[in-house]
Structure 1
Amino acid sequence: CLSMLTIYVGLGIIGVVANYAMIYVFEMTSENMFWGAAAKLPGVFFAIPLLAFLSARFEKQTIFVVVTAYTGVMAAMPHFLKMFDLFPPNDSPFFLLAFFGPIFLAYLVFPVAMIIIDSQLVDISDEHELKSGRRSEGIVFSIRSFANKATHGFGGLIAGFGLEYINFPEEADIGALPSEALDGLLIMNGPVYLGIYLLGTVIMLFYSIDRQRHAEILSELEARRSIDQQRQAEQTTQMWTK
């Protein structure tokens, strides 16, 4: 859960500052920015078969760590390249491909991580039921929904403080921003975002429910439920005999 919350903070940050970078650093028009949404769409259809392929071969933890790290690196790549003057000029014919190509590759697998998180929460619910004797799946996913909104908001708050820190002007003009403001936008979209995202993957390394452990949990739950059903049947029989 902590891994999920950390990643949502990163998404909250980039959700605010990414548009600033596209407009003021990369000087994109609204027509250019349309390709950002288009680049994210294919992942919705590609993620399911990819997840089926990966799930048959790897643990959920491994899939999440690799996919999340890959997504973070690819999404931050254009900003890192721009920081080190390795990105094509804004008027280059390869500009849009260089920017949205990595975004396309990132979001091609991004939904896999979100699906894995939900699957892991189900596993955690199973483990909680084994320990407490109560099924609390609804509570777990309610907390997930609340945490999603809260941490996204917290990420947006951090982004707001970041914009203040780099002295981003209230009435900014494209092409007229000071270099420290432009560099600040690149840093927030690059190192800051990627650092938080990778921290989420490191935290996920402590996730302890693998395929074997989950099978053991399900087996124990099934045995417990079978005993409970047998007891209920015996109690019902005793009531009728009385």
Structure 2
Amino acid sequence: MTEAVAGIQGATRSETAPPPTIWTKLAYGFGSVAYGVKDNGFGYFLLIFYTQVIGLDARLVGLAITTALVFDAISDPVVGYWSDNLRSRWGRRHPFMYASAVPVAASYFLLWNPPEGWSQIALFWYVLVLAVLIRTFITFYETPSSALAPELSADYDQRSSLLSFRYFFAWTGGNAMSVGMFLILFPAFATAAIPNGQFNRDAYSVYGIVASVLIFLAIVVSAAGTHARIIHLKPPPPKRTLTLGKIFKEILETLANRSFIALFLAAMFGAIAAGLSAALSFYFLTYFWGFSPQQNGLITMGVFVSAIIGSTLAPIVTRSLGKKRGAMIIGITAFLGSPMPIVLRLLGVLPENGTPFLFYFVLFTTMFDVGLIICFQILSASMMADLVEQAELKTGRRSEGIFFSASTFIRKMVGGLGVMTATFVLTMAQFPSGAAPGQVPAEALWRLGAFYVPTILTLWMVMMAIISTYKLNRADHEENLRRLAEGQAG
């Protein structure tokens, strides 16, 4: 009997476990608030906080984040493989989820409360160490938690529905913190000395408290809310003697899949583009478009609508077009449309800053485009989930953790390159450090847009070209489930 067949027949839980209830989906989805809040803070506020508020050189911030990501990325495959093989009375995933709650929340709080009076080098090491700790601790939650998706449902359409909840809460949770910053904290911390509260460090200190509490609650609620499903989750592979060489062999055997390689490489370029877009988002809102903190808050609030659009659209696209075809159509539309307002400004088509039309134009185009991007992300994640059964047929092992750790690995490994790319764009644009809104030369603002647009379009179009080589469709997935069921029946 081959190892693959032995592994399939060794499974003790049926592929026909009861479908997840709405409450299970809500609990599973709500857990992504933790990663959404962390990702939102790192992507949108960390660079501007440490450069414009604390005064740390932008190149040092970018170097700290990128260096931390390189070290931290090692934890992803380790945790993924570990959670695939863990044996405990709480299953393979939940022990990691419960254990991560306090460390993630505590380290995230410290990041937004740096010591005062430290030198540039001391602050660099402070950001670097905390970035490593936060991202490592969040891995112990996010990777096992994400890996639950293929276990909670094997159905082709149901997985897109399940992941829609996860992405809805990830975007909504992170976005709620941004809205709170712009509409509540920044106005509350505006003073005579600092008229724009966006540049008051006390606002970020309060943010650190609120965000840390929310991260803790999201992790605990999700772990407890999916605890009852442990009995229906997949068991670990049969016991075997593991050596370092065998572990690497099993990981490579699992990931040696053409469709996985397509998603992995596409995610690499997508993560760089996302990091670049997030890092410069508020530079464009505050400096390029000249919006007030209140207007920025309203635009950020539009993402709530975007999350509804994306999470509602993804299951519909899955049923009507299939995941790959739908992802291609939605993705190309979204990524070509995203920088269009900036292009129109560079061409002199849009009116001057301060006009009502400009604000509403940016508001509604951003709202719709982000909705399409969220839909694309859900479809891509669902495509990754469908590779689990294909790999199980080949190896006899359930390897959800390895597949989803690959996704977090690539986001961490190259996401910092997006921030680094943003610092290069700022440098090429000769963007002044520490400048208040209205004090940046028009030439620098024009260069900011002119360097940003071709850079991000190139990254996104390369990503779409790679993802077009993904091969698994609905019929293939259902055939994989049928063969697994036959093997399990013996």
Q: Smaller-chain TM-score range?
A: 0.7 to 0.9
Q: Who is 2:272 aligned against?
A: 9
Q: For residues 173 and 46 of structure 1, do their structure 2 counterparts lie closer, same or farther at Cα, with a shift above 3 Å needed?
A: closer
Contact 1:10 1:193 in 2 (8 A): yes
Q: 150-159 or 171-180, which moves further after superposition? A: 171-180
The TM-score with structure 1 as length reference comes to: 0.86
Structure of higher RCO (CA pairs closer than 8 Å, 6+ residues apart): 1
Contact 2:276 2:422 in 1 (8 A): yes
CA distance in 2, matches of 1:134, 1:164: 48
Q: Secondary structure, in 3 states, of the residue corresponding to 2:320?
A: coil
- 1:33 correspondence with 2:266: no
Contact 1:4 1:117 in 2 (8 A): no
User: Offset of 1:133 from its aligned partner?
Assistant: 2.0
- 1:61 correspondence with 2:319: no
Contact 1:71 1:110 in 2 (8 A): yes
User: Offset of 1:179 from its aligned partner?
Assistant: 4.4
Amino acid aligned to 2:327:
F
Q: 1:129 aligns with which of 392, 397, 421?
A: 392
Q: Secondary structure, in 3 states, of the residue corresponding to 2:415?
A: helix
- 1:24 correspondence with 2:317: no
User: Offset of 1:81 from its aligned partner?
Assistant: 0.7
CA distance in 2, matches of 1:143, 1:174: 40
Identity %: 23
The alignment yields a C-alpha RMSD, in angstroms, of 1.8
- 1:168 correspondence with 2:426: no
Deviation by residue 1:142-199 (Cα, 9 ceiling, x = unmatched): 2222322333212111111221222222232434434442123213442222221222
- 1:155 correspondence with 2:414: no
Q: Which runs of 5+ in 1 are unaligned?
A: 228-242
User: Offset of 1:121 from its aligned partner?
Assistant: 1.1
Q: Secondary structure, in 3 states, of the residue corresponding to 2:386?
A: helix
CA distance in 2, matches of 1:196, 1:180: 25
Q: Who is 1:215 aligned against?
A: 478
Q: Who is 2:309 aligned against?
A: 46
Q: Which runs of 5+ in 2 are unaligned?
A: 1-263
Q: Who is 1:224 aligned against?
A: 487
Q: Who is 1:90 aligned against?
A: 353
Q: Secondary structure, in 3 states, of the residue corresponding to 1:208?
A: coil
Contact 1:88 1:98 in 2 (8 A): no
Q: For residues 88 and 5 of structure 1, do their structure 2 counterparts lie closer, same or farther at Cα, with a shift above 3 Å needed?
A: same
Q: 123-132 or 9-18, which moves further after superposition? A: 123-132
- 1:192 correspondence with 2:455: yes
Q: For residues 48 and 4 of structure 1, do their structure 2 counterparts lie closer, same or farther at Cα, with a shift above 3 Å needed?
A: same
Contact 2:388 2:400 in 1 (8 A): yes
CA distance in 1, matches of 2:278, 2:304: 17
Amino acid aligned to 1:197:
W
CA distance in 1, matches of 2:418, 2:309: 28
Q: 1:206 aligns with which of 469, 472, 476?
A: 469
User: Offset of 1:109 from its aligned partner?
Assistant: 2.6
Q: 173-182 or 107-116, which moves further after superposition? A: 173-182
Q: Secondary structure, in 3 states, of the residue corresponding to 2:356?
A: coil
Q: 1:145 aligns with which of 398, 408, 427?
A: 408
Contact 1:74 1:103 in 2 (8 A): no
Q: 81-90 or 174-183, which moves further after superposition? A: 174-183
CA distance in 1, matches of 2:371, 2:420: 28
Aligned residue pairs total: 227
- 1:119 correspondence with 2:355: no
CA distance in 2, matches of 1:182, 1:217: 53
CA distance in 2, matches of 1:109, 1:43: 8
Q: 151-160 or 43-52, which moves further after superposition? A: 43-52
